[in-house]
Every structure is written in structure tokens, then in C-alpha cells.
Amino acid sequence: METVYLIFALLFGMTIGSFLNVVAWRVPRGESIIRPGSRCTSCGKEISWYDNIPVLSWFILRGRCRSCGERFSFRYAAVELVTGLLFAAIFMKYGLTWLFLSNTIFISLLVCVVLTDIDHWIILDSVSLGGIVLGLGFSLVPGGVGFLPSLITAAVAFSIFLLIRIVSKLILKRKPGYTIAPEGHEDEADEFQGGMGWGDIKLAGMMGAFLGPSSTAVALFIGFLLGAFTGITVILAGRNRRLPVPFGPFLALGAAVAVFAGKAIWHLYLRIGLNL
Ligand SMILES: [Zn+2]
């Protein structure tokens, strides 16, 4: 029976992944996520249900539109597969509990963060602010982090990121034009001048609301570590250091690790710390 549930979690996650692809494509473009049905973005032909099966259809059609032959990025199938695997892993860790529901919703929001931040340098308010509300709500379920810890962690994480923004803005103020806005975002140069975007600040709040204090600390630590490591790597690889790197995906990755191992890493950290 467990295996049946596990397969169901995988397939359910892949379907949600397919929906997240639609959300990440349409919402930043101001389109409805309900109507019209899925279409080829090249020829506009509606994609029938049998060509829209998560992961499978991409391989059957070899990543091409049945009608015009336009290539569909493998990323669509990858997002569906990864979301499915994450749902299955969450089921293995939390079983069929409220925490399964809460963590699959959290992971889905994080997938959306990664996609829109990479594509458009934005984290949707409906995701981050909506996520704060959902995180606070799910803190009350059996095994949840509890309302007060959820609320306080959200507020603290939000404030830390806001402080980073204020401080980095003050520092960079003395170096006008230090940060170059990414291509297509030249008119928002000022927003990129601050280092920490509003989207990241709200995302930190959402992570705090869902994860509670110890797992949020782990998630933020991993996020900053990965972000710094990547930043240094791309600079060493010869990239212009004035070009910003989207931070949302690193925070989301840290949060995903915390979903599975936040408590374990926190306790490991405490044990090492107390032995010193
Ligand atoms: Zn087409």
C-alpha cells in the first residue's frame, strides 16, 4: 500500500510540476493560468491532453511540438520530474500527514520562485506573500512549527534581509552605477543597485513562516553559502562582478534541504558547537 501511495505522490508531483511550468510562464506575462488551455508558444496550436502528459510526452514527442516541430526546452520535463521526485521524497519522510500537504505546497512555491527568478528576476508576490500566509496557517497543523514561532521567524528573517538591503544600499550609494542591471531590466537599474531585492526579502519571510526557527537558520546558511560560492566561481570564471546573480534559487535550494534535513543539520550543529 505504501508503494501505491509513493507512486501516487510521484505522479501527483509531476502534474503539479506541469502546472508550475504554466504559472511561471504565464503569470509574469500577465496571462491567465486557467484559460486558454496549453498551447504551443510558437504556432499557437492547442496541445491535446495526450501530448501534455508530464515528463512522458516530452520524451514521446522528443521535445518537439507535434504540429510545427518547434523545440520545447527539456527544462519543462525536468521541472515536472524534479517536482515529482520531491513530492515522493516528502511522502517518504512525512507519510500521509498534514506535514505532507504543508511541505508539498512549500516545495511547489519554491519551484515557482526558482523559475521566475531565473527567467524574469522576479519572485511573484502571490507566491512569497501568499506563502507567508500559508506558512502561518500550516504552522497550526499537528507536528507544525506552531503559530508564534512561525510568525516570529517570518518577521526576523524578513527583517534581517531588509537590513541587508538597507546596509548594502548605503554602501553602494557611494559607488553609483556599481551594479549593472541584467539585460532587459535596464530601466530598473535602481532596484538592482541594492544587492538584496524585495522579492528575496519577502521570500525570506515565507521561509521563516513555513520552516520555523532552527530549519530557517539552516536554510538561510545554506542559501548564503551556495550564493557566495557561486558568486565567487562566476567571477573567477571571468564574469563581470558588477552583474548581479539572482539569489532566490539559492535560498530555495537551502529551504528544500531544510525541508528534509533542517532539524538533523541543526542538531548536528548544536552537538559540534557544544563539544567545542
Ligand atoms: Zn507548435
Q: What is the model's pTM?
A: 0.94
**Do 128 and 85 reside in the same domain of the chain?**
no
Q: What is the pLDDT of residue 194?
A: 65
The alpha carbon of 122 and the centre of ligand 1 are apart by a number of angstroms equal to 27
The alpha carbon of 69 and the centre of ligand 1 are apart by a number of angstroms equal to 6
The alpha carbon of 31 and the centre of ligand 1 are apart by a number of angstroms equal to 19
The alpha carbon of 51 and the centre of ligand 1 are apart by a number of angstroms equal to 12
The alpha carbon of 52 and the centre of ligand 1 are apart by a number of angstroms equal to 13
**Do 91 and 161 reside in the same domain of the chain?**
no
pLDDT digit string (tens) for 18-47?
999 999 999 999 999 888 888 898 998 999
Helix (H, G, I), strand (E, B) or coil at 72: coil
DSSP string computed for 97-143: SHHHHHHHHHHHHHHHHHHHHHHHS---HHHHHHHHHHHHHHTTSTT
Among 61, 78, 96, the domain-final residue is: 96
Alpha-helical segments (H) within the chain: 2-26, 56-60, 74-94, 98-120, 125-138, 147-173, 189-192, 198-236, 248-275
**Do 213 and 134 reside in the same domain of the chain?**
yes
| Rounded mean pLDDT for each run of 10 residues along the chain, 276 residues in total | 94 97 95 88 90 93 93 95 98 96 98 96 96 98 97 98 91 76 78 82 98 97 94 86 88 98 93 80
Q: What is the pLDDT of residue 245?
A: 84
**Do 32 and 126 reside in the same domain of the chain?**
no
The alpha carbon of 43 and the centre of ligand 1 are apart by a number of angstroms equal to 4
Q: Is residue 185 part of a domain?
A: yes
Dist CA 233 CA 250 (whole Å): 14
Dist CA 245 CA 233 (whole Å): 11
**Do 128 and 195 reside in the same domain of the chain?**
yes
- How many distinct structural domains can be found in the chain? 2
The alpha carbon of 71 and the centre of ligand 1 are apart by a number of angstroms equal to 8
Dist CA 193 CA 198 (whole Å): 12
| Angle (deg, nearest 10), helices 98-120 and 74-94 | 150
Helix (H, G, I), strand (E, B) or coil at 173: helix
**Do 62 and 141 reside in the same domain of the chain?**
no
CA distances for 264 relative to 126, 147, 152, 259, 270, angstroms: 31, 22, 22, 10, 10
Among 45, 62, 96, the domain-final residue is: 96
The alpha carbon of 44 and the centre of ligand 1 are apart by a number of angstroms equal to 6
**Do 269 and 140 reside in the same domain of the chain?**
yes
Q: Is residue 111 part of a domain?
A: no
**Do 74 and 169 reside in the same domain of the chain?**
no
What's the domain range around 270?
Answer: 122-276
